[in-house]
Amino acid sequence: GENVEQHPSTLSVQEGDSAVIKCTYSDSASNYFPWYKQELGKGPQLIIDIRSNVGEKKDQRIAVTLNKTAKHFSLHITETQPEDSAVYFCAAAGGSYIPTFGRGTSLIVHP
């Protein structure tokens, strides 16, 4: 089955800095890669996704990149704000019907 590795597990940055979270996957059949943000006490919320036919996608301060050859994808957050503090999960899907999640990254943005 699919295996998704996510790093780092914790990321601490100053407000205004950039943050990068990286994930690797194992199933070459995976073709859909969503990212979720989970705030304390809430369910994961889909914030951006990318499909295998593109290498990069941007939405305001967040962007995702995908390298299918190397089987890795990354989330980039620029100009971080305290409200960006949350746990971020990457996932891979398409090889099977089940989205497989990474273990999560706790992002802390210090004012």
Chain centroid to CA 13: how far? 16
- 81-102 in b/e form (b: 16+ CB < 10 A) is eeebbbbbbbbbbbbeeebbbb
Contact 99, 1 (CB under 8 A): no
CB of 32 to other proteins, least distance (A): 4
Nearer to other proteins, 15 or 59 (CB): 59
- Binding region for other proteins (CB under 8 A): 31-32, 34, 36, 42-46, 49, 51, 89, 93-104
Nearer to other proteins, 71 or 94 (CB): 94
CB of 28 to other proteins, least distance (A): 14
